[in-house]
Structures are given as structure tokens and as C-alpha cells.
Amino acid sequence: MVYFNPKGTRVYRAVTIGRIISPKVLRPIVIVGAIATLVFVGLWFAGIGYANWWHLMIISVATTYVLWVYTIFFETYLDMVPPHTSSDQNIADFLDYQAMKIATAYANGNISQLLLPMLKMRGFSFILMRMGISPKDFKRALLEYLHTHTNTTINGGLVFFLSSCLTQKKTQEQSSRPVLSWQDLFFGLCTHSDFLKKIIFDVHIECEDVHMLLAWQQQDDAKRMQQRRFWKRSNLMNVRGIGHDWASGYTARL
């Protein structure tokens, strides 16, 4: 019997850590810490005011470095934790990090609720705009729809929906262990969510067009994530030496 039990999966543990200390919250702190470090360095060299600016500089450098390493670790490891492969009955074992965040935010009710956490996903606003839909108008219309449609629109609720998405993904990839992303859930909602079906119909877009757009955006996300791992050999080898392409020209321009 197919069921959904996220607790105990590695991806769910990553989601739990992300809720406690979100990297999105830490990024501004890292930037402020870096600026403060530069200020302390300048005051230390200038010898202005407090004689031991270097004490504060060391504290600022250490704190900023730790937070920066955590954000990198989270985005490149916890955010990409592979799903568990021990069970074929637990749908949670087939979800990636972003899909798990969406699924665990769902409460009993209309399946279109899954669109709310998707609004926070990286690239979701881009998908809507490519479809000719304003993200603000989409969110407002979604909230109004959920306010008036509280009952679930499909039998079985979340488990049935995720099972349908998984079956569809297995057919597309010809794989017995596919991984469901938030793009896969969005594409599944194109046929299971009355709200999204109406939105797509109003803008005169076919579901296959949405699928192609989601696939392109997913590839772009994967490429961007790979580039963030600057310590990887493939990225380090792409750093070209100074003056590698300099052939000729005036000295001032070179």
C-alpha cells in the first residue's frame, strides 16, 4: 500500500534543518559581516579610536566565515541530498529537497494548496511570467480561490496526487527510481488542480508547453547550482589565466 511518511527520510531532515536556520536569512548577515570586517580593517590600519580593532576584526571574520560556510554547505549538500532508496511504498522517498518542502507544507484540503509554497521556489515567478501571468495576480487569485474552495479536489488527496506524479515521471524517464522535483509537482497540478487548469486555459497554453518550459528551467537551475560549487575541479579548470587571449593592442587597453 502506497503511503506518505516524510519523517525518517534524509531529505526531511534537511528540510527540518533549513527551517531552523534558513540560509536565506543568513545571506544578508554574511554580507553585513563582510562589510563590518572591511570597516574594522580600515580602522585598525588607520589607528582611529579603539586601539584593538583587530579583536573585533577577528570576531567578525570568524563569524562571517562560519555563516558563509554553512550557507554553502546547505545549498550544495543538504539541498541536494539524494532521496532514500529503501522503500517503494513510501512516496516521500522519491521527493527531492524542494518537493519535500512543498509536500510537508500541505494540509488537508484543496490540492491547489501546493501552489502556495511553490511561490517561494527559485524560478517559479519566472515560469509564471514566461506564461504571461503576473506572480502577484496569481497569488491573489490563488488565495481567493482557496478561501472559497476548501475541500480536496481529488480522491485520496496528497498521496494520490504524488502517486500520479510519480507514475508520470517513471513513464517519461523509463526509470524505476525517479526523483520528483517541484517542477514535476507543478506539472502534475496542471491536470489535478482546477485552479491551475483554469489559469492555463485563460492564457491559451497547452500542458505540453508548460512541461517544456519547466524542463528548460530545471536544467537552468541545475547549471546554476553546479556553477556555485566553485571548488569543483570542472569549475576551477574553467578559470582562465590573465592575458590568455591577449593577442595585440595598445598598451593602455591591454
Instruction: Give 136-186 pLDDT, tens digit per residue.
Output: 999 999 999 988 876 645 445 888 888 888 888 888 777 667 888 889 999
Is residue 73 pLDDT above 80, yes or no? no
Cell numbers describing residue 56: 573585533
DSSP sequence for 101-154: HHHHT--SS-GGGGHHHHTTSTTHHHHHHHTT--HHHHHHHHHHHHHH--S-SS
* pLDDT band with cut points at 50, 70 and 90 for residue 254: very low
Is residue 15 pLDDT above 70, yes or no? yes
> What pLDDT, on the 0 to 100 scale, is given for residue 72?
72
> What pLDDT, on the 0 to 100 scale, is given for residue 203?
85
pTM above 0.85, yes or no: no
Cell numbers describing residue 48: 582611529
Over its C-alpha atoms, the chain yields an Rg (Å, rounded) of 23
With beta carbons less than 8 A apart as the criterion, state whether 16 and 88 touch: no
